[in-house]
């Protein structure tokens, strides 16, 4: 059994990595350095290992990135992490696709403040409408433009205050 002090938990993060085709996961741990500033946690729900690695490399410089490769891993991660934003693969394989998972997530009011961004290779108007109807805040088609994705995440996490007509 593995136990940690409250202080050690504050310095660590846990990430689940699929280690084979089954549902078993291998847990990896990284330590924050004493002088590092805390980064906001993002959850990437993506079943493709290459896309997971790309997202970790792209977003890991700015955010604490945790990945989930299935609906089961998604719910498991949410037991111990409250992400500030979720990037959801629409075509997630397994027991549920990304839109079904988003609908279930949105059904619980405690998660309403967390934006979900749909990521998909499908780029039709109907796909976009289905993602927004499922509860996604935004829709991004793959391949992802790195700069635009970072700008989109920043805009969702730090929305511009509405300007009054007097300003």
Assess whether pLDDT exceeds 50 at residue 43: yes
In a domain, 167, yes or no: no
Domains in the chain: how many in total? 1
For residue 52, tell me if it sits in a domain. yes
* Largest Cα span, the chain: 61
In a domain, 19, yes or no: no
Q: Write the CATH number for 148.
A: 3.40.50.2300
- pLDDT digit string, tens, across residues 64-103: 999 999 999 999 999 999 999 999 999 888 889 999 999 9
pLDDT of res. 161: 62
Residue count (the chain): 167
- β-bridge pairing 25-31 and 12-18: antiparallel
CA distances from 114 to 11, 70, 145 (A): 24, 19, 22
In a domain, 145, yes or no: yes
**5-23: per-residue pLDDT in tens?**
333 333 333 333 333 333 3
Q: For residue 72, give its domain range.
A: 38-157
Whether residue 30 is contained in a domain is answered as no
């Amino acid at each position: 059994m593995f136990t940690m002090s409250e202080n050690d938990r504050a310095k660590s993060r846990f990430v689940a990595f699929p280690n084979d085709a089954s549902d078993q996961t291998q847990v990896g741990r990284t330590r924050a350095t004493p002088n590092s500033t805390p980064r906001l946690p993002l959850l990437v729900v993506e079943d493709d290992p290459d896309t997971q690695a790309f997202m970790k490399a792209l977003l890991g410089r700015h955010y604490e990135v945790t990945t989930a490769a299935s609906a089961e891993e998604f719910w498991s991660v949410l037991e111990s992490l409250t992400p500030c934003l979720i990037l959801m693969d629409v075509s997630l394989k397994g027991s549920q696709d990304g839109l079904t998972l988003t609908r279930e997530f949105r059904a619980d009011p405690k998660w309403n403040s967390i934006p979900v961004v749909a990521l998909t290779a499908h780029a039709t108007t109907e796909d976009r409408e289905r993602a927004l109807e499922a509860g996604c805040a935004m829709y991004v088609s793959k391949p992802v433009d790195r700069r635009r994705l970072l700008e989109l995440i920043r805009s969702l996490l730090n929305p511009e205050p509405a300007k009054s007509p007097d300003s």
